[in-house]
Structure 1
């Protein structure tokens, strides 16, 4: 069955989905006894639609919170409010280090969690503050209709003065690189030279940005040609190795076992490194140069939520090994290695009772 781009971008909106340090994980089949060796510890709770997580070399962990839009928004109406944030954990101290960032959410029925678009990934700004990529789920016209408070949605911006460093929504609206529906939903970013590489889950692209706000299409992530039909790629996680190799994960329309991880060598074309996983929403590099991949759900997104999963993926071989989590990951969205043999994951990421958890053995 043909999967339309807009339907899967709506799933990203309604389900809450899209500098590496290390975790030494062997890319080999996990023994049955390993299932009790891994523990999942809640580090922080009460997070508002948490998305990407970033571990810094000093031990600080950052979480991008997409916020909750405007509480009290009428059912079916999209409302913008300054409820997005950057949350930090530094040893025993934790809390929001930046608040008041733009967030948009559609009013939900009483008792239903509000799924928001807003900050989806964060990096430290060398000049102070943070660099944030924000989701949107739309076009420049739709953003304008939301009002002036929505100006940073669908962009890369810095928190010190809310200056937009790259407008990914403008790029998609003007150029529509993949020729499909015009729809921008930036998801994750890495530094690249003096600028950034950003995945756009709505546009099926990886966008390069440079100083001065210049943007260019670094890659169009191809559809996945499945027996059931062509599935939109929906690129999500991105990681960059020290040698310049870039890795990109895609959801492949949410089809079971269809998610792919792409490997892009410097100056090369995207090549599939690994597949066979489902609903990949993020990836991170470990200290061996291999990958950690996070599944939002190992089942189709329609129906009751199913547990997510974590995989170790060999960057040299493409071998995939599941890391046991005993079904404790519920709608996870962001993953990062901590440099000490553990992994940070944002969990329960739909609504305002999200978690940051630590996976260790």
Structure 2
């Protein structure tokens, strides 16, 4: 699912394998489940189920919810082999409609030991509408030009920003990392977060540990290389993930900072200023979202990776005071990955997102 360099990648891959044998929380679409905290009860309402490795969420002004699905790789892939298929998609929920509005996108996964078993895949990770029609889809990958080429033609758009209406590659972070390697460390790309920025796109690179700017001509430049987190146990790579922009133009970016509980950070980039750490003390942050009342929401994939990982968590942050409120979700969030806020401050999460039994849920608290 996630991938950065060296031991960090191996730990996350091992965690994903462990979860495959764990029993995830299973709720049917339209049902709800609750956890009572000190002062409130949190309820999950399942809006969609059976999603294939659901990742990032984008909520449009009219309330339409878009979910990037990383797919299930190649369904004919032999056990233990890694193959690319065209099972990635974009899922939409609007009013009484829900279903896939784009299919046939690149996806890669390792064939399961048992035929028909759920698989963890890499593929579409973030989606936004394109002014020319269709959608712009950023795919995760975790590798280099050579490792992508080895997957064959089905994997050609992995790790790229793709416009779906005409299948045009708008930017290729994998190729950029392979050729430029801005941080000078091992060559490894895993594009994760996507934010339109005027005519450009900002992309967080979880594998390369930098913030990229994709330009309309297809070129890419580096906006910022995130330094190692030396406050964590040892010196850990940043692994930037979520990215959002507030109404005043300030950008917030989350980083995972390895598996050390409490090591994850939130960065702040004010217009015209260099990035700086805004808040620390989180764990395995994977996504951010802003509501319309001056609050930032931060989603943790898990409190701590292990076998299996502990449940995820959701925090609400007052941007004016930096006060952090933990929303009591108990064991409800199991490997949550995407986070979105609706026009009336509805909170949406992709849950059970490591496999093919994923959910889109609304968090009521």
Q: Do both proteins adopt the same fold according to a TM-score greater than 0.5, normalized to the shorter chain?
A: yes
1:10-49 correspondence runs (5 A): 10-12=10-12, 32-34=38-40, 36=41, 38-49=42-53
**Aligned equivalent of 2:205, options 194, 200, 209:** 200
| C-alpha contact 2:348 2:362 (8 A) present in aligned 1 | yes
Deviations, residues 213-260 of structure 1 (Å, cap 9, x unaligned): 010011111111136300111111000123221111010012111100
The aligned length equals 342
1:177 is the counterpart of 2:177: no
Distance in 1 between residues matched to 2:338 and 2:160, nearest whole Å: 19
How far did 1:48 drift? 0.1
Q: Runs of 5+ in structure 2 lacking a partner?
A: 17-35
Is the 1:273–1:315 Cα contact (8 Å) retained in structure 2?
no
Q: In the alignment, which residue of structure 1 is the partner of 2:7? A: 7
Q: CA 1:341–1:243 in 2, change beyond 3 Å: closer, same or farther?
A: closer
Structure 1 CA distance, aligned partners of 2:157 and 2:186?
Answer: 22
> Which string of whole-angstrom CA distances, capped at 9 and with x for unpartnered residues, describes residues 10-46 of structure 1?
4555657xxxxxxxxxxxxx98121x2x211000000
* RMSD (Å), alpha carbons: 1.7
Equivalents in 2 of 1:305, 1:31: separation in Å?
Answer: 22
Partner of 1:52: 56
Aligned residue among 106, 109, 126 for 2:110: 106
SS of residue in 2 equivalent to 1:67: coil
Kindly indicate whether structure 1 or structure 2 has the higher relative contact order, using CA contacts under 8 Å at least 6 residues apart: 1
Q: Map 1:66-77 onto structure 2 (within 5 A).
A: 66-77=70-81
* SS state at 2:235 partner: strand
1:13 and 1:137 in contact (8 A); partners too = no
Q: CA–CA distance in 1 between the matches of 2:132 and 2:13?
A: 32
Instruction: Choose from 222, 228, 236 the match for 1:231.
Output: 236
2:55 is the counterpart of 1:85 = no
Find the residue that maps to 2:258 and give its secondary structure.
helix
Does the 8 A contact of 2:69 with 2:123 survive in 1? yes
Following superposition of structure 1 onto structure 2, how do residues 1-361 of structure 1 map, counting pairs within 5 Å? Answer: 5-12=5-12, 32-34=38-40, 36=41, 38-110=42-114, 113-226=118-231, 228-299=233-304, 301-361=305-365
C-alpha distance in 1 between matches for 2:297 and 2:11: 23
Paired residue for 2:25? none
What is the CA deviation profile of residues 152-207 of structure 1, one whole-angstrom value per residue up to 9, with x for unaligned ones? Answer: 11111111121110110011111111111111011110111101001110000110
**Tell me, what secondary structure is at the counterpart of 1:143?**
helix
Residues 300 and 336 of structure 2 are in contact (CA less than 8 Å); yes or no, is this contact kept in structure 1? yes
